[in-house]
Amino acid sequence: MKDNTSWSCFCFSLKLCLLSILFLTETVVAIKLPPNLKIPALIAFGDSIVDTGNNNNVKTVVKCDFQPYGINFQGGVPTGRFCDGRVPADLLAEEVGIKSVVPAYLDPNLTPKDLLTGVSFASGGSGYDPITPKLVAAISLQKQLEYFEEYIEKVKNLVGEERKNFILANSLFLLVAGSDDIANTYYDLHARPHYDVDSYTTLMANSASDFVNVSFSLNIYIYIYIYIYHIPYLYFLLFKPNQLPKIQ
């Protein structure tokens, strides 16, 4: 006999997969949670697609703290998001009823409530290839996981072990990366000259697998939805004249 809760979670997972595709094609969609499913927090890892301001607090050439970034955000001020308004992490968090804005973990104004409902560890310029974040001094996926372990301890100190476990066991986890690997590391900067497309994408896939395996070791695999988005559309970013990375 089919377990109703598991079936509801499965159906909801399919809806979220569809929702992620619709976000990337700039389509607005509403999603309704099953009545017995409550998501307490959204946690994002990856690159600029879900970076909500971490790079503001990192010495990296990949910055978006200038206009026209943020012109359609609250107050029209650049927030560190690589767009004119909100990023997919914000939109998805709102759609599933968590909150309308997902703050950056490194935001100095982060509050306890922010921690309990989710943050973004993502960093513009990061990627699956370990070389990718090094080229621009972005936060690597490995370092993002280290920050996540730190985050777990903070949540535990705030609400205790039992509630911490509940939050981790019922939250939505996003991993969005790959565009910087392909556009910058592989094609633009030719930082992997001995790799063809097949071998390089295999390297990326193995890195993504390693990331998920490490997350499993942190005991966050039970009832957790981890979506590894397909590589987002490559797009143009606005750089100040002296911010373009170079390979010597």
Share of the chain above pLDDT 70, in %: 75
pLDDT value at residue 194: 94
Task: Name every residue whose Cβ is closer than 8 Å to that of residue 209 and which is 6 or more positions away in sequence.
Answer: none
Domain-located, residue 63: yes
pLDDT value at residue 72: 92
pLDDT value at residue 186: 92
Q: Where are the alpha helices (DSSP H) in the chain?
A: 4-24, 88-95, 112-117, 131-136, 141-170, 179-180, 197-217
Active-site entry in 6, 8, 48, 140: 48
pLDDT value at residue 205: 87
Task: Name every residue whose Cβ is closer than 8 Å to that of residue 111 and which is 6 or more positions away in sequence.
Answer: none
Whether 207 sits among the annotated catalytic residues: the reply is: no
Amino acid letter for position 55:
N
Domain-located, residue 11: no
Using alpha carbons only, give the angle 241, 244, 248 rounded to the nearest 5 degrees.
130
Task: Name every residue whose Cβ is closer than 8 Å to that of residue 61 and which is 6 or more positions away in sequence.
Answer: 125, 136, 137, 239, 243, 244, 245
Residue 1 above 90 pLDDT?
Answer: no
Closest CA to 227 of 205, 212, 207, 213: 212
Label residue 4 by pLDDT band (50, 70, 90): low
Label residue 209 by pLDDT band (50, 70, 90): confident
Domain-located, residue 4: no
Domain-located, residue 243: no
Classify residue 198 as exposed, middle or buried by CB count within 10 Å of its CB (0-12, 13-18, 19+): exposed
Per residue in 188-204, pLDDT tens?
A: 889 999 999 899 989 99
Domain-located, residue 88: yes
What gap in Å lies between CA 77 and CA 70, rounded to an integer? Answer: 5
Amino acid letter for position 200:
Y
Q: What is the pTM of this model?
A: 0.80
Tokens for 19?
A: 């929702």
Domain-located, residue 144: yes
Residue 159 above 60 pLDDT?
Answer: yes
Closest CA to 149 of 42, 43, 56: 43
Taking residues 157-161, what's their average pLDDT? Answer: 98
Domain-located, residue 244: no
145 vs 224, more confident? 145
pLDDT value at residue 34: 72
**Is there a contact between 41 and 166 (Cβ–Cβ < 8 Å)?**
no
Domain count, the chain: 1
What gap in Å lies between CA 102 and CA 246, rounded to an integer? Answer: 32
Domain of residue 76: give its range.
35-228
Residue with tokens 């359609």: 72
Strand order in the sheet with 42-46: 42-46, 172-176, 225-228
Residue 110 above 90 pLDDT?
Answer: yes
What gap in Å lies between CA 197 and CA 203, rounded to an integer? Answer: 10
Q: Where are the alpha helices (DSSP H) in 37-97?
A: 88-95
Residue 226 above 50 pLDDT?
Answer: no
pLDDT value at residue 219: 65
Altogether, the residues listed in the chain come to a count of 248
Domain-located, residue 20: no
68 vs 236, more confident? 68
